[in-house]
Amino acid sequence: MKKPTIGVLALQGAVREHIQMLETCGARGVALKYPAELNLCQGIIIPGGESTTIGKLMVACGFLDEVRDASRAGIPVYGTCAGLIMMAQRIAEGDQPLLGLMDITARRNAFGRQVDSFETDLVIEDIAEKPRTFRAVFIRAPWIDEVGNGVRILGEFGGKVVMARQDGMLVSAFHPELTGDERIHRYFLKMVEEAR
């Protein structure tokens, strides 16, 4: 089968690392700058960065509706960190543009200022076979306060949900593109394969 093309939203944030990871996994990673480029993609990644900025730019560039439509049409979407916030139907505080696709409530900067960046080893369902763990890098990360019925929890840290999936939508509060571990990107590519 032809290599899948995965678009990494390239308005702001950790774009290049995702593209490198996708290429390592045998997919084609492209930096998405214009909504029309979504037509080339069999999967979409919303990277980490600053969700208020990403949201404003997505509105300004016409990406918000287009990514929403692509997801509803069955294109798998993976949001990391700020991308998780963009995917949420609700945020715990404040008001900002969201894709609003996934039945979760995200809490921004949830781990607090004291520990705004840290790394830890997580057991991720479906991905790290127990007891093998996944090294997770959290940078001013959100967590998930509530999940709806259709949402499967894939990872938790300190009793908080930090990774979840709902159909073709995947989110993680941490940054798997910053470690050399490809397993989460491979998991997403499997979702893309299944959707094709």
Residue 79 engages ligand GLN in binding (rule: CB under 6 A): no
Helix orientation angle between 183-195 and 15-24, rounded to the nearest 10 degrees: 70
**Residue with the two structure tokens 């950790």:** 14
Work out the number of other CB atoms within 10 angstroms of the CB of residue 146. 15
Residue 9 engages ligand GLN in binding (rule: CB under 6 A): no
Out of 17, 25, 66, 175, pick the active-site residue. 175
Dihedral-angle region of residue 94 (phi above 0 means left; psi in -120 to 50 means alpha; beta otherwise): left
Name which position in 7, 29, 43, 48 contacts ligand GLN (CB under 6 A).
48
Residue 81 engages ligand GLN in binding (rule: CB under 6 A): yes
Is 175 known to be catalytic?
yes
Minimum separation from the CB atom of position 49 to ligand GLN (A): 5
Residue 56 engages ligand GLN in binding (rule: CB under 6 A): no
Out of 177, 185, 193, 194, pick the active-site residue. 177
- Token representation of residue 25: 């996994």
Q: Answer whether the bond into residue 4 is a cis peptide, omega within 30°.
A: no
Binding mask 113-142 for ligand GLN (x = CB under 6 A): --------------------------xx--
Whole-number Å distance between alpha carbons of 174 and 180 = 14
Separation of first and last alpha carbons in the chain: 10
Residue 101 engages ligand GLN in binding (rule: CB under 6 A): no
Work out the number of other CB atoms within 10 angstroms of the CB of residue 62. 12
Q: Nearer Cβ to ligand GLN, position 108 or 185?
A: 108
Return residues touching ligand GLN (CB under 6 A). 48-51, 81-82, 85, 108-109, 139-140
Residues catalogued as catalytic: 81, 175, 177
